[in-house]
């Protein structure tokens, strides 16, 4: 199980009341919510390996250089990502708790959590469940390798597993083509403008026919040179050619990197903390007993069922 950790702790922060605080008044709603989410996910999907992917860089320079609009609307006055202060103070605590628990936490300089997830999903030697509320990661779905998306947009309690058939049913595209589709259609939440005049239905039709953005561009250029429609819906070829500069650069931004050099990590799902004394200190200081006990009980239930 690969956790899109930022997606989950943001959901926890906004989903759990900010009245949930530590004994000293520090907000811990995101921490407790995240641990409870993890307990539910482990109990429901029963992984034996678990990695919490982190954003070492939420807006990598190499993506912004190619497409300056990438996540530009999320940049705060100080150049940060507008993370609310009450959440920002909780992220280091989450990392400390994970370290004491023995939850593998992986972030790589210059890359987003999505890229860590893409690399781990690609190199895994077992089936993979990717937990996220971000549709961008639908591009990783792969029935042959057993990669599914556990989509949490409607809440962790009602999270559903998406395979290739689910992506096709929702978007009318080949199951592994969400990244190509999103590039063409655009995605305001990530600052992707898409191609002017091409909506969801046309984008789905074009990607279903041509497969990749590169193949689509080549077909549009060839059709323009030959003077035929090239299999394009009415008016779509001209729109594709008008957006050729964007389409030539956007794929490297939209596609998840799957070749990130990762640090050493131990992804075994642990039933006991690796540093019990430190975990007790953190639990006492931040008031985490209930959430930690629920998570550890869920982890133990995986192995008890297996036996």
Note down the domain range covering 41: 2-164+257-306
Would 170 be classed as within a structural domain? no
Specify whether the CB–CB gap between 106 and 54 falls below 8 A: yes
pLDDT category, 306, cuts 50, 70, 90? low
Q: In terms of domains, do 297 and 199 share one?
A: no
Q: What is the pLDDT of residue 207?
A: 96
The residue that leads in pLDDT, 79 or 170, is 170
Asked if residue 227 has pLDDT above 90, the reply is no
Q: In terms of domains, do 71 and 143 share one?
A: yes
Would 28 be classed as within a structural domain? yes
Domain count, the chain: 2
Q: In terms of domains, do 144 and 17 share one?
A: yes
Domain end call among 254, 278, 296: 254
What CATH code is carried by the domain that includes residue 211?
1.10.150.20
Q: In terms of domains, do 131 and 185 share one?
A: no
Would 267 be classed as within a structural domain? yes
Domain end call among 236, 254, 272: 254
Q: In terms of domains, do 182 and 208 share one?
A: yes
From 23-32, 63-72, 105-114, 222-231, the region with the lowest mean pLDDT = 222-231
Q: What is the pLDDT of residue 229?
A: 78
Would 172 be classed as within a structural domain? no
Mean pLDDT of 39-66: 96
Q: In terms of domains, do 42 and 190 share one?
A: no
DSSP designation for 212: S
Q: What is the pLDDT of residue 82?
A: 81
Q: What is the pLDDT of residue 305?
A: 58
Q: In terms of domains, do 59 and 192 share one?
A: no
Q: In terms of domains, do 125 and 187 share one?
A: no
What is the layout of strands, in order, in the sheet containing 2-4?
104-106, 51-53, 2-4, 128-132, 147-151, 160-162
Q: What is the pLDDT of residues 134-185, one digit of tens each?
A: 999 999 999 999 999 999 998 998 899 999 999 999 999 999 999 999 999 9
> Nearest 5°: CA angle at 156, between 166 and 113?
80
Asked if residue 199 has pLDDT above 90, the reply is yes
Q: What is the pLDDT of residue 27?
A: 97
pLDDT category, 226, cuts 50, 70, 90? confident
Domain end call among 210, 234, 254: 254
In this prediction the pTM is 0.95
Q: What is the pLDDT of residues 295-305, one digit of tens each?
A: 999 999 999 85
Long-range contacts of 16-19 (CB under 8 A, 24+ apart): 18/86
């Amino acid at each position: 199980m690969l956790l899109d950790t930022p997606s989950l702790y943001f959901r926890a922060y906004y989903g759990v009341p900010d009245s949930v605080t530590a004994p000293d008044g520090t907000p811990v709603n995101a921490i407790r919510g995240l641990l409870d989410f993890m307990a539910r996910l482990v109990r429901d999907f029963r992984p034996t390996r678990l990695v919490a992917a982190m954003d070492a860089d939420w807006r990598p320079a190499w993506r912004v250089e190619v497409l300056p609009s990438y996540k530009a609307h999320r940049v705060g006055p100080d150049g940060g990502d507008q993370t609310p202060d009450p959440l920002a103070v909780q992220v280091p605590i989450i990392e400390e708790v994970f370290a004491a628990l023995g939850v593998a936490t992986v972030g790589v300089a210059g890359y987003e959590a999505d890229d860590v997830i893409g690399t781990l999903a690609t190199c895994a030697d077992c089936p993979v469940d990717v937990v996220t509320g971000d549709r961008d990661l639908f591009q990783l779905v792969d029935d042959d390798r057993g990669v599914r998306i556990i989509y949490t947009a409607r809440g962790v309690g009602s999270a559903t597993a998406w395979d290739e058939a689910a992506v096709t049913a929702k978007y009318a595209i080949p199951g592994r083509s969400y990244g190509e589709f999103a590039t063409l259609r655009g995605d305001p939440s990530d600052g992707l403008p898409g191609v002017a005049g091409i909506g969801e239905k046309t984008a789905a039709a074009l990607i279903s026919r041509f497969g990749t953005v590169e193949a689509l561009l080549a077909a549009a250029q060839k059709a323009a040179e030959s003077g035929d429609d090239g299999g394009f819906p009415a008016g779509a070829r001209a729109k594709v050619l008008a957006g050729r500069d964007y389409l030539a650069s956007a794929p490297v931004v939209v596609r998840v990197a799957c070749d990130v050099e990762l640090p050493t990590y131990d992804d075994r799902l642990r039933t006991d903390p690796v540093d019990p004394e430190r975990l007790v200190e953190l639990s006492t200081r931040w008031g985490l007993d209930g959430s930690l006990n629920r998570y550890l009980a869920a982890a133990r239930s995986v192995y008890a069922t297996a036996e």
